[in-house]
C-alpha cells in the first residue's frame, strides 16, 4: 500500500526543520497554528482510515459474489443505524476541529502587546520595502527585503501595497496576510527562536511573483539594537578610489533616480533603499545571495536574471560597472 | 425493449398558461438569473456605500427626485395596462390583446424617453468615482431590461398584426406580460437605492 | 458517428488557421530588456528653439515602443515615478505644458519627444539623458504620444489613483494637423 | 412502491394491453419528422440534444487535452529549480490558460454536455425544453473557447490567473487587451452555461414521463437539477465581476479603484460568491455519475435514496455560505471568518453521508468489477482525501499557513479530479455505448484507470508536502536548497503518467468507435430509462412515452415497459407534465431545426468581441443581434389573411 507510506513520509516531515515551513514553528503564532495542524492530521487521518477500511471491507465481503439479477431496494435498519452513527461521528469530529480552530483564531487576534515593535512593510512589484517606525521620527529608518526582529518581542507589522495585491508570508513565524492597495492590514509576529527564516510573496502579483522573497533574521535584543543603530547611520563614505568613482557613477547615471542611499544625492523613492545594502543577505528580493559577483551580474543584466523586473538594463562600461559594484559592496 | 400501452395523451391540449407552460418556466429561469444580477448589483451598491464615509460624493450632489418619480409612476401605470393585457390573453380575446400590446409598445416608448431624462439628473457620471459607477450600474442594468423587453413586445406586436392568431400565441403574450411585471417590480428597489439612499443613508 | 464530428473538426481547424493568418499582435508583445535594436540612427536633438526644428530622421525604435502596450504602460509608470506629474499634472498641464492638447512646441513625433526628454528644453524641462536609460526615455516618449492621442492608450481608461483630470478616454485630443509637425501657438511661460 | 401512475388530468383512453408498438408507417413518419437535414447544413441547424451534447463532449474534451498539455509544460518547467524552459511571462500565461480552460471550457461544459445528452433520456422525454437555445449555447461556448485559445496562440492571451484579481488585471497593471479577452471569455461561457442550466431545469421540472414523481426521480437527475439551480444563482456573480472589470478597463469606471471609493475586495467577494459554488457545480454531476454507476454494477439501488437527495440539496445550500474561506488572508474581521469556517466544515457532513451510502451500496450489493466501478473506487479513495484537506483549509488559522501554497493545489486537484474527472471517465466508459452504440475496450479502460490512478497520486500527493514545506502557488520557478526538488520531480513524473493515461483513453475511443463491440440497448442491465431505447437513441428518443412507477423502471419491468401513446408523429411534439407529480398536462410543439441559433451566436460573438475594443460595440452590435433574434422568434404560422404556410 502506497498510501500509508506516503502518510508516514508526511509525518516524518513534521520532524524536519526548514527556513520556510509552517511545520517548524519559531514564533508564537506559527506554534499555535501548528497545534491545529497536528490535531487535524490525526482527526482527518482517523476518518480516512475508517473510510478506506469500510471500502476494503465492502469489497472483500463481496469478493465471491458478483452480478446476478438486480436486487430490490431494501429497508435496512442496520444501515440506517450505521448512517446515524457515522453522521454523529463526523459531527463530533467537526465540532472539535471548529472549536479548536476558533480558539486559536482568537488567540492570534488578541495579541495586545503594549510595547510592540512597529514596522511597516510595503509590497512592490517585486520587492519589499521595510520601514522601522520606532520612537520619534528621526529614529525611523528604511531597508528592503530583510527584517531583523528581536527574539521574544512582539512585532506589529503594518502591511500595505504600493501597486498590486501581495501577501506577506514567513511560515516559520506566522500565517500569511495580504497587502492590498487601499487597505491596511496588521500582522503580529512574536518570534521565539533565534535564526534566519525565509518569507515569500504568497499572492500572485505578476511576472516575478516567484522572485519576491525576504529574509527574517531573529536575533537577541542586544544584537538587534546594534543592528538598528547601524541602520540609522547614513551610508559610509567610499574609501577606495574605485568605490568613489562608483559613487559618482551611481549618482550621475540612472541609479539615483530610483534608489536612495542616505547621506548622498541619490534619493529616488521607487526602488529599494541601498544605504546598507552590503549588510543584507540577498539581492533582488531573495533572487541571489549577496556577493560581489551577484551584484555585478545583477547590475549588468537585471532583465536576464529577473525578466520583467522594474530595474532597467543600464548601459554601463565595464569600468563603471565594477566601480558601482565596489561602491555598493562597501555599503555595510 | 417491448412495450405495453397503458394510456393515451392525444386528448391533452397543445398549449397552457403560466405555471403549466414550458416557456413560462424558461422565462422564470431567466428572470431568476436577472434577479440574481440585480441582487448582486444592489449588493455591490450597498458594499461600496458601506466602505465610504459619505454618500454620495461629492456630498451635495444627490440625484434630482422628480424624473425618478415620473418614471416610477409611468412604470406603475404601464403595469395596470400590462395586467389587463394578460387577462385578455388568458380570455383568448384577440382584439383586446392587440389593443393591449399596442398600448404596451407606446408605453415603452414613453418610459424610455422618461428614462433618458433621468440620466442627466443623476448629477454624477460613471467615471467620476465609485458612487457614480455603481449608480450608473443600477440604471444601466434596468434600462437594458426596459429596452430589451420593449423590443420583444415590439416584435410580438409585429407578428400579432401580420400572422394568424392561434391559441399558443395567447400563451406567449401572457408570458411576455409576466416579464414586464418583472421589469416593473425590479425597478422599485433600484429606484429606492438610486434616489433615496444618497439622501437618507 | 465519428463522421458526424468531421464537419466540426474541419470548421475548428479552419477557424484556427484563419486566426493564425491574422498574424502576431505587436501590441501585446512584451520583451524585457533589449527589445529594440541597441543602435539606431543617432537622434539629432539640438533644436532649442520652439518649433518643429530640423526634421528629425525617423528612428525604427520609435515605432516598436509606440506599438507595444507593455512599453507604453511602463512609460506611464515612469511618468509618475520620475514625477513628470509634478509639472505636467497627468498630462493636463500645470507648471509645464499640457500633453493632451495639440500644442507641441518641440514637435510631436516620437523622435522629437524623445529628444525633448533626453535633452531637456528651456524654461524648466530638465534633461534626462543619463538619468534615465535609453529604453526608459523611449517608453516615456511612447507614453506621452499616447497621452496626446497619436497612438492608442496602453489600456483605455484610468489609473488606480485619485482622478485629478478627466479620464483619458473622455478627453478627445484634437487630431494633430500634421504628423510630426507642430502648431506653435502661444509662447513659453 | 408500485402505486400506479396517476391518471392524467384530462381523461385518456386506457389502452388495451398489447405488445404492439407503432404501426410501421407511423414509425417512419416519426423518423422523418425528427430527422435533421443532411450534411454540414444539418450540423449547423440541428436541435437534437444528443448531437449537440456529443459535439459539446468532444469540444470540451479537446480543451481538456489542451489544458493538460499546459499542465505538462508547467510540470516540466518546475521539475528542477531555476529552470528556464518557460519564461516567466509564458508560464504565467500557461497557468492562467490551464485554470481558465479547466474550469470554464472543460469542467462545467462537459458536465452539462453529459446532462444534456442523458437527462431527456432518463426522464423519458423526446427533447429538451428549448432545443434551439441548446444549439445556441453550444455555439456561444465554442466562440468563447476559441476567443481564449486563439488569443493565446496569437500571444495576446491573458496572464493574470484564472481568478484575474484586480488591480493586477485592472487598467493600470494589465496593459493591452489580455485581461479583456479573459473577461469576455467569461461572458461567453457563462451565457452558454446559464442557458443550459435554464434548459435543464425546465426540462426536469416540466417534461418528466408520466408517473415520475419527484420521489422517483433518479439520483442522476436530482444532481443535475441541483447543479442547474446552483448555476443560475452563482454564475451571474462572475459575470458581474468580470463585466465591472471590463468597464473599469474600458469606460474608466471606478468600481475597483480604492482611490475613488471603490474596493479590490469587492471583486474578490463577487468572484468567490461564484467561485466556490462553482466547485460544487463541477462535482455534483460527478456524484451523479457515481450514483448511477454504483447502482448498476452493485446490482442494487443506491442505499439511502432520501439521505442522498437531502445531502445534495444541503451541499447546494451550504455552497453559497462559504465563499469567504477563499479570502481569509485578506484581513477581514475575525469573528465573521469563524462563521465561514463552521459553514465550510459543515459541508463535510453531507459529503460524508454520501460516501457512506455508496460504500454501503457496494457492501450490500453484488459488485461486478467492470471498469466504471473501478473509477468509483478510485473516486472514493481520492476524493475523500480532498474532502479532508478541505476541512483543514476551512480553519482560518491553518488556512493562513496553507492558503496559496501547493497544499491548496493538491487539495483542489484531489477534489476536482477526484470528485469530477474520475467519475467522468467512469461515466464515459459507462455511457459510451449509449452515446455511440459501441462499447469501449475494457482492457484499455483498466490500463487507463490504473495509469491515471497511480499517476494522479504521484503528481498530486507530493504537492501536499511541498505546500507544507512552504512552496507558494503560481511561481514559475523556485530556488534550490529549500528541499522542494524531489517532490517536484515526483510530481512531474506523475504528470507524464497522467498524460499517457489520457492518451490511452483517446486511442481507446478512436478504436472503439470503429471496432468496439456492438452494445445493444442495455449492455450493463442498467435501471434507468436511457437504457430503454436503442444505442445510440433515435432523434425522437422514444417511440412511445414511457410510464414510470418506480425509481428503477427497467429493473421493475424486466419484460415490457408501460408506455403511453398519443404524441403526434406528424409534427415535433413533446409531452409536458406537472412539476412535482409529473402528471401529463399538455402536448407542446417542439421547434424544428433552425439556423437562427447559429446566427444569433455569431451576432453575440460580434457584440462581445467588439466590446473588447470599443464600448460602442454594445450599441452598433445590438442591431445584428436584434435582427437575428427577431428572425429566431418570428413565427412560422400562417399569415393573417391566408392559409398557406
- Domain residue limits, chain C: 26-31+42-170
Q: Would the pLDDT of D145 be above 90?
A: yes
Domain ranges of chain B: 75-201
Test B36 with D233 for CB contact under 8 angstroms.
yes
* Predicted local distance difference test score (pLDDT) of residue C8: 52
Q: Would the pLDDT of C6 be above 60?
A: no
Residue A70: closest CA among chain D residues belongs to which residue?
A: D299
Q: Which of A172-176, D301-305, D612-616 has the lowest mean pLDDT?
A: D612-616
Q: Would the pLDDT of D22 be above 70?
A: no
Q: Would the pLDDT of D267 be above 50?
A: yes
Query: DSSP class of residue D564?
Result: E
Q: What is the mean pLDDT of residues D349-359?
A: 95
Nearest chain B Cα distance for residue C101, angstroms: 21
Contacts of B127 in chain C (CB under 8 A): 157-158, 163, 166-167, 170
Q: CA–CA distance from D9 to each of A303, B8, B11, B12, B15 (Å)?
A: 77, 12, 10, 8, 14
Band of pLDDT at residue D635, cut at 50, 70 and 90: confident
Test C5 with D54 for CB contact under 8 angstroms.
yes
Which of A61, A169, A180 has its CB closest to that of D363? A61
Q: What is the mean pLDDT of residues A164-177?
A: 94
- Report phi then psi at B58, rounded to 5: -60, 145
Nearest by Cα to D252 from B127, A21, B159: B127
Question: What residues of chain A, 259 to 288, have a C-beta less than 8 Å from chain D?
Answer: 286
Question: What residues of chain A, 44 to 63, have a C-beta less than 8 Å from chain D?
Answer: 44, 47-48, 51-52, 54-55, 57-59, 61-62
Q: Are residues A133 and A223 in the same domain?
A: yes
- Report phi then psi at A124, rounded to 5: -130, 160
- Interface check for D155 against chain C (CB to CB < 8 A): the answer is yes
* Predicted local distance difference test score (pLDDT) of residue A66: 74
Test D388 with A178 for CB contact under 8 angstroms.
no
- How confident is the model over A65-82, as pLDDT tens digits? 877 888 887 778 888 899
Best D20, D21, D262, D527 residue to mutate vs chain B (most B CBs within 10 Å): D262
CB-CB contact of D465 with D482 (8 Å): no
Contacts of C163 in chain B (CB under 8 A): 127-129
Q: Are residues A122 and A224 in the same domain?
A: yes
- How confident is the model over D193-212, as pLDDT tens digits? 999 999 999 999 999 999 99
* Chains A, C: CB pairs < 8 Å: 38
Nearest chain D Cα distance for residue A245, angstroms: 34
- Beta-carbon contacts of D328 under 8 Å, excluding residues fewer than 6 positions away, are D337, D340, D396, D399, D400, D403
Nearest chain B Cα distance for residue C143, angstroms: 22
- 3-state SS track over D10-72: CCCCCCCCCCCCCCHHHHHHHHHHHCCCCHHHHHHHCCCHHHHHHHHHHHHHHHHHHHHHHHH
What residues make up the domain containing A149? 117-231
Look-up of cell digits 466547485: D279
- Interface check for A200 against chain D (CB to CB < 8 A): the answer is yes
- Interface check for D261 against chain C (CB to CB < 8 A): the answer is no
Q: Are residues A174 and A270 in the same domain?
A: no
Q: What is the CA radius of gyration of chain A?
A: 27
Band of pLDDT at residue A325, cut at 50, 70 and 90: very high
Nearest by Cα to D491 from D413, D558, D419: D413
Residue C155: closest CA among chain D residues belongs to which residue?
A: D175
Q: Which of B155-169, D160-174, D371-385 has the lowest mean pLDDT?
A: B155-169
CB-CB contact of C157 with D252 (8 Å): yes
Q: Which of A5-19, A248-262, D244-258 has the lowest mean pLDDT?
A: A5-19
Nearest chain B Cα distance for residue C8, angstroms: 29
Asked whether residue A325 is assigned to any structural domain, the reply reads yes
- Interface check for A206 against chain D (CB to CB < 8 A): the answer is yes
Nearest chain D Cα distance for residue B69, angstroms: 26
* Predicted local distance difference test score (pLDDT) of residue D644: 37
Band of pLDDT at residue C9, cut at 50, 70 and 90: low
Q: Are residues A226 and A253 in the same domain?
A: no
Contacts of D476 in chain A (CB under 8 A): 209-210
pLDDT, averaged across chain B? 91
Contacts of D610 in chain C (CB under 8 A): none
- Interface check for B128 against chain C (CB to CB < 8 A): the answer is yes
Band of pLDDT at residue C128, cut at 50, 70 and 90: confident
Which of A48, A62, A164 has its CB closest to that of D385? A48
Nearest chain D Cα distance for residue A112, angstroms: 15
Q: What is the mean pLDDT of residues D6-12?
A: 42
Q: Which of A328-332, B37-41, C173-177 has the lowest mean pLDDT?
A: C173-177
Q: What is the mean pLDDT of residues C108-131?
A: 84
Look-up of cell digits 443535475: D224
Query: DSSP class of residue D538?
Result: P
Q: Would the pLDDT of D238 be above 70?
A: yes
DSSP H or E run through D587: strand D584-589
Check which CATH number belongs to the domain holding A215 and give it: 2.60.40.420
Where does a domain end: A197, A231, A265? A231
Of B72 and C123, the structure prediction assigns the larger pLDDT to B72
Asked whether residue A42 is assigned to any structural domain, the reply reads no
Nearest chain C Cα distance for residue B133, angstroms: 13
Domain ranges of chain D: 43-589, 596-633
Where does a domain end: A196, A231, A266? A231
- Interface check for C167 against chain B (CB to CB < 8 A): the answer is yes
Contacts of A314 in chain C (CB under 8 A): 133
Where does a domain end: A170, A199, A231? A231
Residue A250: closest CA among chain C residues belongs to which residue?
A: C131
Test D345 with A97 for CB contact under 8 angstroms.
yes
Residue A178: closest CA among chain D residues belongs to which residue?
A: D330
* Predicted local distance difference test score (pLDDT) of residue A111: 64
* Predicted local distance difference test score (pLDDT) of residue D645: 33
* Predicted local distance difference test score (pLDDT) of residue A11: 42
- Interface check for D538 against chain C (CB to CB < 8 A): the answer is no
Q: Which of C57-61, D462-466, D474-478, D561-565 has the lowest mean pLDDT?
A: C57-61
Q: Which of A270-279, C88-97, D32-41 has the lowest mean pLDDT?
A: C88-97
Q: What is the mean pLDDT of residues D339-345?
A: 88
Burial B118-156 (b: 16+ CB within 10 A, else e): beeebbbbbbbbbbbbbbbbbbebbbebbeebbbbbbbb
Query: DSSP class of residue D319?
Result: G
Of C162 and D440, the structure prediction assigns the larger pLDDT to D440
Name the range with the highest mean pLDDT among A242-256, B74-88, C27-41: B74-88
Q: What gap in Å lies between CA A159 and CA D72, rounded to an integer?
A: 36
DSSP string, chain C: -HHHHHHHHHHHHHHHHHHHHH---GGG----S--S-S--SPPP----SSS--SPPPP-HHHHHHHH-HHHHHHHHHHHHHTTTHHHHTTTT-SSSPPSSSS--TT--SHHHHHHHHHH-BTTTB---BTTB-HHHHHHHHHHHHHHTTSS--SSSS--SS---S--GGG--PPPPSSTT-----S---
Report the SS3 class of residue D550: coil
Test A36 with D551 for CB contact under 8 angstroms.
no
Test B26 with D521 for CB contact under 8 angstroms.
no
Q: Would the pLDDT of D280 be above 90?
A: yes
* Predicted local distance difference test score (pLDDT) of residue B13: 86
CATH class of D43-589: mainly alpha
Termini Cα distance of chain C:
79
ipTM above 0.85, yes or no: yes
CB-CB contact of D156 with D184 (8 Å): no
CB-CB contact of A117 with A109 (8 Å): no
CB-CB contact of C75 with C141 (8 Å): yes
Percentage of residues in chain D with pLDDT exceeding 70? 95
Contacts of B41 in chain D (CB under 8 A): 240
Q: Are residues A227 and A246 in the same domain?
A: no
Name the range with the highest mean pLDDT among A169-173, A231-235, B22-26: A169-173
Domain C26-31+42-170 CATH (choose: 1.10.1200.10, 3.90.1200.10, 1.10.600.10, 1.10.760.10): 1.10.760.10
Of A6 and A206, the structure prediction assigns the larger pLDDT to A206
* Predicted local distance difference test score (pLDDT) of residue C125: 86
Cell of D615: 464600448
Nearest by Cα to D369 from A63, A166, A158, A47: A63
DSSP H or E run through D576: strand D573-577
Termini Cα distance of chain D:
49
* Predicted local distance difference test score (pLDDT) of residue C13: 57
pLDDT, averaged across chain D? 91
Q: What is the mean pLDDT of residues C92-106?
A: 75
User: According to CATH, what is the number of the domain B75-201?
Assistant: 1.20.120.80
Band of pLDDT at residue B171, cut at 50, 70 and 90: confident
Test C167 with B129 for CB contact under 8 angstroms.
no
Band of pLDDT at residue C37, cut at 50, 70 and 90: very low
CB-CB contact of D146 with C8 (8 Å): no
Residue D156: closest CA among chain C residues belongs to which residue?
A: C28
Q: CA–CA distance from D416 to each of A52, D235, D410, D413, D588 (Å)?
A: 20, 18, 10, 5, 39
- How confident is the model over D46-94, as pLDDT tens digits? 999 999 999 999 999 999 999 999 999 999 999 999 999 999 999 999 9
Q: Would the pLDDT of A128 be above 60?
A: yes
Residue D435: closest CA among chain C residues belongs to which residue?
A: C1
Percentage of residues in chain A with pLDDT exceeding 90? 66
Amino acid at each position: 500500500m502506497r498510501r500509508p507510506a506516503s502518510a508516514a513520509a508526511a509525518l516524518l516531515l513534521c520532524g524536519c526543520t526548514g527556513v520556510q515551513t509552517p511545520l517548524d514553528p519559531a514564533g508564537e503564532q506559527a506554534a499555535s497554528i501548528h497545534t491545529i495542524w497536528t490535531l487535524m492530521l490525526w482527526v482527518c487521518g482517523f476518518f480516512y482510515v475508517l473510510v478506506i477500511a469500510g471500502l476494503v471491507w465492502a469489497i472483500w465481503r463481496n469478493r465471491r459474489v458478483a452480478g446476478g439479477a438486480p436486487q430490490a431496494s431494501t429497508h435496512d435498519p442496520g444501515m440506517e443505524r450505521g448512517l446515524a452513527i457515522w453522521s454523529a461521528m463526523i459531527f463530533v469530529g467537526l465540532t472539535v476541529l471548529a472549536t479548536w480552530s476558533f480558539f486559536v483564531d482568537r488567540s492570534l487576534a488578541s495579541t495586545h502587546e503594549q510595547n510592540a515593535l512597529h514596522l511597516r512593510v510595503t509590497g512592490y512589484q517585486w520587492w519589499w520595502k521595510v520601514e522601522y517606525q520606532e520612537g520619534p521620527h528621526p529614529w525611523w529608518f528604511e531597508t528592503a527585503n530583510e527584517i531583523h526582529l528581536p527574539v521574544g518581542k512582539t512585532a506589529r507589522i503594518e502591511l500595505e501595497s504600493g501597486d498590486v495585491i501581495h501577501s506577506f508570508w514567513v511560515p516559520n513565524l506566522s500565517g500569511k496576510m495580504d497587502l492590498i492597495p487601499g487597505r491596511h492590514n496588521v500582522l503580529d509576529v512574536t518570534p521565539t527562536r533565534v535564526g534566519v527564516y525565509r518569507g515569500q510573496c504568497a499572492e500572485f502579483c505578476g511576472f516575478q511573483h516567484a522572485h519576491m522573497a525576504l529574509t527574517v533574521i531573529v536575533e537577541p535584543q542586544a544584537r538587534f539594537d546594534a543592528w538598528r543603530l547601524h541602520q540609522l547611520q547614513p551610508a559610509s563614505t567610499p574609501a577606495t578610489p574605485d568605490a568613489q568613482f562608483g559613487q559618482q557613477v551611481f549618482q550621475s547615471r540612472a541609479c539615483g533616480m530610483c534608489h536612495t542611499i542616505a547621506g548622498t544625492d541619490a534619493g529616488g523613492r521607487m526602488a529599494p533603499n541601498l544605504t546598507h545594502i552590503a549588510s543584507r543577505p540577498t539581492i533582488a528580493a531573495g533572487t541571489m545571495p549577496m556577493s560581489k559577483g551577484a551584484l555585478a551580474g545583477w547590475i549588468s543584466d537585471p532583465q536576464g536574471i529577473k525578466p520583467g523586473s522594474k530595474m532597467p538594463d543600464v548601459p554601463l562600461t565595464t569600468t563603471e560597472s565594477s566601480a558601482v559594484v565596489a561602491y555598493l559592496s562597501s555599503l555595510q | 425493449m417491448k412495450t405495453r400501452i397503458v394510456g393515451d395523451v392525444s386528448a391533452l391540449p397543445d398549449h397552457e398558461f403560466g405555471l403549466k407552460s414550458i416557456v413560462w418556466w424558461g422565462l422564470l429561469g431567466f428572470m431568476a438569473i436577472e434577479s440574481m444580477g440585480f441582487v448582486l448589483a444592489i449588493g455591490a451598491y450597498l458594499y461600496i456605500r458601506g466602505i465610504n464615509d459619505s454618500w454620495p460624493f461629492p456630498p451635495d450632489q444627490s440625484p434630482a427626485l422628480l424624473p425618478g418619480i415620473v418614471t416610477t409612476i409611468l412604470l406603475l401605470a404601464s403595469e395596470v395596462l400590462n395586467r389587463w393585457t394578460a387577462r385578455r390573453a388568458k380570455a383568448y380575446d384577440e382584439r383586446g390583446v392587440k389593443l393591449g400590446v399596442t398600448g404596451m409598445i407606446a408605453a415603452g416608448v414613453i418610459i424610455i424617453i422618461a428614462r433618458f431624462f433621468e440620466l442627466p439628473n443623476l448629477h454624477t457620471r460613471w467615471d467620476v468615482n465609485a458612487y457614480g459607477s455603481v449608480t450608473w450600474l443600477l440604471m444601466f442594468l434596468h434600462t437594458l431590461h426596459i429596452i430589451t423587453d420593449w423590443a420583444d413586445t415590439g416584435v410580438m406586436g409585429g407578428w400579432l398584426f401580420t400572422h394568424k392568431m392561434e391559441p399558443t400565441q395567447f400563451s406567449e403574450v401572457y408570458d411576455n406580460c409576466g416579464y414586464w411585471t418583472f421589469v416593473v417590480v425590479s425597478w422599485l428597489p433600484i429606484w429606492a437605492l438610486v434616489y433615496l439612499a444618497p439622501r437618507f443613508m | 458517428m465519428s463522421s458526424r464530428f468531421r464537419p466540426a473538426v474541419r470548421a475548428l481547424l479552419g477557424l484556427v488557421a484563419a486566426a493564425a493568418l491574422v498574424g502576431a499582435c505587436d501590441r501585446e508583445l512584451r520583451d524585457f530588456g533589449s527589445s529594440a535594436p541597441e543602435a539606431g540612427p543617432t537622434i539629432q536633438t539640438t533644436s532649442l528653439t520652439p518649433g518643429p526644428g530640423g526634421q528629425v530622421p525617423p528612428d525604427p525604435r520609435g515605432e516598436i515602443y509606440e506599438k507595444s502596450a507593455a512599453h507604453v504602460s511602463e512609460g506611464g509608470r515612469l511618468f509618475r515615478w520620475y514625477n513628470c506629474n509634478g509639472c505636467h499634472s497627468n498630462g493636463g498641464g500645470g507648471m509645464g505644458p499640457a500633453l493632451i492638447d495639440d500644442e507641441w512646441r518641440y514637435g510631436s513625433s516620437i523622435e522629437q519627444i524623445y529628444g525633448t526628454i533626453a535633452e531637456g528644453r528651456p524654461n524648466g524641462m530638465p534633461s534626462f539623458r543619463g538619468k534615465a536609460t535609453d529604453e526608459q526615455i523611449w517608453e516615456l516618449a511612447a507614453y506621452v504620444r499616447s497621452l496626446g492621442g497619436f497612438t492608442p492608450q496602453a489600456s483605455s481608461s484610468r489609473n488606480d489613483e485619485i482622478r485629478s483630470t478627466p479620464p483619458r478616454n473622455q478627453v478627445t485630443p484634437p487630431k494633430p494637423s500634421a504628423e510630426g509637425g507642430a502648431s506653435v501657438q502661444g509662447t513659453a511661460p | 412502491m408500485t402505486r400506479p401512475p396517476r391518471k392524467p388530468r384530462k381523461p385518456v383512453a386506457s389502452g388495451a394491453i398489447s405488445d404492439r408498438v407503432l404501426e410501421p408507417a407511423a414509425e417512419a413518419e416519426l423518423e422523418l419528422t425528427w430527422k435533421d437535414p443532411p450534411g454540414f447544413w444539418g450540423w449547423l441547424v440541428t436541435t437534437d440534444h444528443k448531437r449537440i451534447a456529443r459535439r459539446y463532449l468532444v469540444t470540451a474534451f479537446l480543451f481538456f487535452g489542451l489544458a493538460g498539455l499546459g499542465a505538462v509544460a508547467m510540470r516540466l518547467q518546475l521539475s528542477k529549480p531555476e529552470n528556464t524552459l518557460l519564461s516567466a511571462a509564458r508560464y504565467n500565461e500557461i497557468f492562467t490558460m490551464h485554470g481558465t480552460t479547466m474550469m470554464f471550457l472543460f469542467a462545467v461544459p462537459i458536465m452539462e454536455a453529459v446532462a444534456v445528452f442523458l437527462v431527456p433520456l432518463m426522464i423519458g422525454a423526446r427533447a429538451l425544453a428549448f432545443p434551439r437555445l441548446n444549439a445556441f449555447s453550444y455555439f456561444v461556448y465554442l466562440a468563447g473557447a476559441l476567443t481564449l485559445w486563439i488569443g493565446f496562440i496569437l500571444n495576446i492571451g491573458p496572464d493574470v490567473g484564472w481568478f484575474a484579481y484586480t488591480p493586477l488585471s485592472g487598467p493600470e497593471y494589465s496593459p493591452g487587451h489580455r485581461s479583456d479577452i479573459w473577461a469576455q471569455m467569461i461572458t461567453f461561457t457563462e451565457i452558454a452555461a446559464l442557458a443550459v442550466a435554464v434548459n435543464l431545469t425546465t426540462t426536469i421540472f416540466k417534461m418528466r414521463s408520466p408517473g415520475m414523481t419527484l420521489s422517483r426521480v433518479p439520483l442522476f437527475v436530482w444532481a443535475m437539477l441541483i447543479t442547474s439551480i446552483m448555476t443560475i444563482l452563482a454564475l451571474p456573480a462572475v459575470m458581474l465581476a468580470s463585466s465591472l472589470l471590463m468597464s473599469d478597463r474600458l469606460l474608466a469606471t471606478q468600481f475597483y479603484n480604492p482611490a475613488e471609493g471603490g474596493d479590490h475586495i469587492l471583486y474578490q467577494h463577487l468572484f468567490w460568491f461564484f467561485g466556490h459554488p462553482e466547485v460544487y457545480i463541477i462535482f455534483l454531476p460527478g456524484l451523479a455519475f457515481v450514483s448511477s454507476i454504483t447502482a448498476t454494477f452493485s446490482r442494487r439501488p443506491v442505499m439511502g435514496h432520501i439521505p442522498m437527495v437531502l445531502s445534495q440539496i444541503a451541499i447546494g445550500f451550504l455552497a453559497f455560505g462559504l465563499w469567504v474561506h477563499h479570502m481569509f488572508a485578506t484581513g477581514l474581521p475575525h469573528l465573521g471568518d469563524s462563521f465561514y469556517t463552521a459553514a465550510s466544515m459543515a459541508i463535510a457532513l453531507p459529503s460524508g453521508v454520501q460516501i457512506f451510502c455508496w460504500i454501503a451500496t457496494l457492501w450490500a450489493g453484488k459488485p461486478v468489477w467492470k471498469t466504471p466501478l473501478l473509477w468509483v473506487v478510485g473516486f472514493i479513495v481520492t476524493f475523500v482525501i480532498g474532502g479532508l484537506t478541505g476541512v483543514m483549509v476551512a480553519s482560518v488559522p491553518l488556512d493562513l499557513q496553507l492558503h496559496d501554497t501547493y497544499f491548496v493545489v493538491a487539495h483542489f486537484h484531489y477534489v476536482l479530479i477526484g470528485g469530477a474527472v474520475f467519475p467522468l471517465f467512469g461515466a464515459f466508459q459507462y455511457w459510451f455505448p449509449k452515446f455511440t452504440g459501441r462499447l469501449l475496450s475494457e482492457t484499455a479502460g483498466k490500463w487507463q484507470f490504473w495509469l491515471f490512478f497511480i499517476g494522479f497520486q504521484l503528481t498530486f500527493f507530493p504537492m501536499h508536502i511541498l505546500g507544507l514545506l512552504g512552496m507558494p502557488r503560481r511561481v514559475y520557478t523556485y530556488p534550490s536548497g529549500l528541499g522542494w526538488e524531489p517532490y517536484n520531480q515526483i510530481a512531474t513524473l506523475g504528470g507524464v503518467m497522467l498524460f499517457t493515461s489520457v492518451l490511452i483513453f483517446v486511442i481507446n475511443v478512436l478504436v472503439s468507435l470503429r471496432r468496439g463491440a456492438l452494445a445493444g440497448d442495455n449492455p450493463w442491465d442498467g435501471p434507468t430509462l436511457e437504457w430503454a431505447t436503442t444505442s445510440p437513441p433515435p432523434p425522437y428518443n422514444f417511440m412511445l412515452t414511457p410510464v414510470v412507477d418506480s425509481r428503477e423502471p427497467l429493473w421493475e419491468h424486466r419484460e415490457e415497459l408501460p408506455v403511453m401513446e398519443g404524441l403526434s408523429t406528424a409534427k415535433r411534439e413533446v409531452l409536458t407534465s406537472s412539476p412535482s407529480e409529473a402528471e401529463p398536462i399538455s402536448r407542446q410543439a417542439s421547434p424544428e431545426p433552425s439556423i437562427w441559433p447559429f446566427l444569433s451566436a455569431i451576432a453575440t460573438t460580434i457584440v462581445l468581441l467588439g466590446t473588447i475594443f470599443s464600448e460602442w460595440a454594445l450599441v452598433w452590435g445590438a442591431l445584428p443581434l436584434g435582427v437575428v433574434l427577431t428572425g429566431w422568434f418570428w413565427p412560422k404560422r400562417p399569415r393573417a389573411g391566408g392559409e398557406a404556410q
